[in-house]
Amino acid sequence: MTTAAPTAQNRSPLHKYWVILSTRTQEDMTYRFNYVFGAIFRFLPLVTMIFLWYAVYMGRNMAPINGMSFKDMIVYNALMYIARGFSSVPGTMNDISKDIKDGLLNRYLIKPMDYFGYQVMYRLAHKLVFWYIALLTFPFVFWFMSASGHYFTHWPTLWEALAFLASLVIAFCVGIQFCFMIGNLAFWFLEISTFLFVVMMLEFFLSGQLIPLNILPQWMHQFLFLSPFSYEGYWPCVILMGKVPQDQLLPVLGRGVLWVGVFYAAVRVMWRMGLKRYSAVGG
């Protein structure tokens, strides 16, 4: 007795998103050597950061800054490459706004799929290829840092490791949803390139990528720690470094999940409102 191959009618509704993910992954793997060089040279700015922070700490006689020692600062900046590797989705804002402005959105609206779901799968494929390559290069860099300068002195507990992995998922969700919301502003504004630049600079600072949020003035901490952008960089790093007490891991992750839910609701509301204003010109 033979079984018929699944047809388009009886396939899962999620199958089309799997096709997008797998197809895009295969396309990116064609240029995997670009990812190899990108993963290797990604750490070159870290050398500059080491000298910069060494000069800062030397001026303080190597005294810690708000509990962050010199080695903590270097580890934080190294781990930021992992955190931002999940939360950063370069080009997403521009691509979405271009699709809307140029009428290219038409080709997606006539297809039986969700545009937001398409963008998630498209960007996730890039992440899968990037981390496939990164797993071959990043461990060597971290091992070298540990062997040469003994920077990594904290071995995370099981709960910290699990919380770190969960925070990376939150980082990706926050990053892609925020980019989608900002890209959707093209429904209301003809030109948003300047606004995109300002938003990206603010996100760069509020995520803790520029400097750790906990060394900023105390009066800013409550806002910075509770903001959704802190989950794009700061929280994953300090969780793995053991800077978050064990009893605070779940509350921190809980707030992150809450922000993911808020952003998802905002994405859906903006999308529905935007489509009402959309004029299918061009494409």
What is the per-residue pLDDT for 39?
63
**pLDDT tens-digit profile of 9-18?**
556 667 777 7
**pLDDT at position 6:** 52
| Exposure string over 41-55, b if 16+ CB within 10 A, otherwise e | ebbeeeeebbeebee
Question: In the prediction, which pLDDT does 263 show?
Answer: 96
Q: What is the pLDDT of residue 271?
A: 94
Domain definitions of the chain by residue range:
15-277
Q: What is the pTM of this model?
A: 0.86
d(CA 101, CA 282): 9
Phi-psi label, residue 11: left if phi above 0, alpha if psi -120 to 50, beta otherwise: beta
Residues of the chain with pLDDT under 70: 1-13, 27-29, 31-43, 149, 280-283
